[in-house]
Amino acid sequence: MKILISNDDGVNSSGILAAKRAVEKLGEVIVVAPATQQSGIGRALTLFEPLRISQVNLNDGGQGFSVSGTPSDSIVLAIFELMDDKPDIIISGINTGENIGKGELTTSGTIAAAMEGASYGIPSIAISQQVLKGEIKFEEGHIDIDYSLSEKILHQITKKVLNKGLPNGVDLFNINVPFHTINEDILITKLGERMYNPRIETRLDPRGKSYYWIDGSPFKEHEKGTDGHALFIEKRPTLTPLSIDLSSNLELTKEWTR
């Protein structure tokens, strides 16, 4: 089995090594990830400048590949340049910080890397671990986090996908692991509304012109059965099955257009 691992936190992140540890006994692992932090980049592809691939020494002593682009760039280059055959599974993560709700679906670089892989028919998993300190979500390199539960869950789900494939109609899994839990049983959830409510901070530069930072305040309302409720209220690991087919109800739309 060939296992491709990527992320949006950068090739030197602690989380990507945790993902590697979780699955390296299940098959041949190749790590291909962005050279730098790419959180929030979504599924962007680099089309107007060249990309470079560099072989790097990972912090565990192994070898990986650094890409001067986005998470989706990394997946494309891995599949169509670095690998002789398509991988049997793609894993994106383990991300520093949760990725839940509809608002993160197309903005998260972690989910986007998995979606890029899924678009080529490859079973894919995005996995993220909740952190309590917001400032470490965008750090690069080593972060002192206990990934043991995330590793255990990732190993379990990856093994099942390799043996059974994904369920019919499912293209990828989005997994979120709480910072602390008293119940390790995984809840199957649907997407919640949002993870953050947008907040714009306006500042003035030295010449008196305005510039802006896009930030967010945590979304408080989490409906039962959603990934947000499971993670924040029940403090349980969540698994959300996703499809890259975003088509809505065609029949209802046909009726609407009459």
Please check whether residue 155 lies inside any domain of the structure: yes
Please check whether residue 159 lies inside any domain of the structure: yes
Name the domain count of the chain: 1
Length of the chain: 258
- Give pLDDT tens digits for 81-107: 999 999 999 999 999 999 999 988 899
Please check whether residue 253 lies inside any domain of the structure: no
Q: Which residues form the domain of 170?
A: 2-193+221-246
CA 160 centroid distance within chain:
19
CATH number for the domain spanning 60: value is 3.40.1210.10
Please check whether residue 257 lies inside any domain of the structure: no
CA distance 107 to 216: 14
What is the predicted pLDDT for the residue at 135? 61
| Helix, strand, or coil (residue 128) | strand
pTM of the model: 0.92
pLDDT of residue 131 exceeding 70:
yes
Do residues 2 and 88 touch, judged by C-beta distance below 8 A? yes
Residue bearing tokens 């998995």:
114
- Give pLDDT tens digits for 141-164: 778 899 999 999 999 999 999 999
Q: In angstroms, what CA-CA distances link 11 with 41, 77, 196, 254?
A: 16, 14, 26, 46
Packed helices 148-164 and 14-23: angle between N→C axes, nearest 10 degrees: 50
H-helix or E-strand containing 155?
Answer: helix 148-164
Lowest mean pLDDT among 11-15, 47-51, 60-64, 194-198: 194-198
Please check whether residue 210 lies inside any domain of the structure: no
Which neighbouring-strand residues pair with 168?
none
CA distance 71 to 156: 24
Average pLDDT over residues 17-29: 97
- Give me the amino acid identity at 132: L
Please check whether residue 199 lies inside any domain of the structure: no
CA distance 181 to 176: 12
Please check whether residue 255 lies inside any domain of the structure: no
- Give me the amino acid identity at 172: L
Please check whether residue 188 lies inside any domain of the structure: yes
